[in-house]
Amino acid sequence: QQQVKQSPQSLIVQKGGISIINCAYENTAFDYFPWYQQFPGKGPALLIAIRPDVSEKKEGRFTISFNKSAKQFSLHIMDSQPGDSATYFCAASRGETSGSRLTFGEGTQLTVNP
């Protein structure tokens, strides 16, 4: 019930292409869905997040699409750049009930070729 499933495990995209990473969750009580970007040797950095009352959120080249009925959400990176090469994690939390407790997906290693 607490799991978040993320796919693909790895992704290779050409510069300028669109990177798409998908996540699915089981617990319908989750009400906050952030995405984190992690570079080697660094901690995860908050990229963008969404609440279930909206179906899409865009910040620059990054867009989250959210499908509440399917219990799925995805990260789209438009015009992917070599500097976007990193590991991306989706996560979910239950807000008030579980405080800051985040349940993470397994991670996606993104490589953007020049």
Partner 1 sequence: KAGVTQTPRYLIKTRGQQVTLSCSPISGHRSVSWYQQTPGQGLQFLFEYFSETQRNKGNFPGRFSGRQFSNSRSEMNVSTLELGDSALYLCASSLRILPYEQYFGPGTRLTVT
Please give the helix or strand (H or E) that residue 59 lies within, else none: strand 56-59
Number of alpha carbons in the 13 Å side-chain half-sphere of residue 85: 11
State the amino acid at position 48 in one-letter form. I
Q: Is 102 in the site for partner 1 (CB under 8 A)?
A: yes
What the block records as the tokens of 66 is 């959210």
Q: Is 32 in the site for partner 1 (CB under 8 A)?
A: yes
- Candidate residues 13, 21, 23, 34; the one interacting with partner 1 per rule CB under 8 A: 34
- CB nearer to partner 1: give 9 or 114: 9
State the amino acid at position 28 in one-letter form. T
- Candidate residues 24, 104, 109, 111; the one interacting with partner 1 per rule CB under 8 A: 104
What span, in angstroms and rounded, lies between the C-alpha atoms of 24 and 29? Answer: 13
Site for partner 1 in 64-93 (CB under 8 A): 89, 91, 93
Contacts with partner 1 by CB under 8 A lie at 31-32, 34, 36, 41-46, 49, 51, 89, 91, 93, 95-96, 98-107
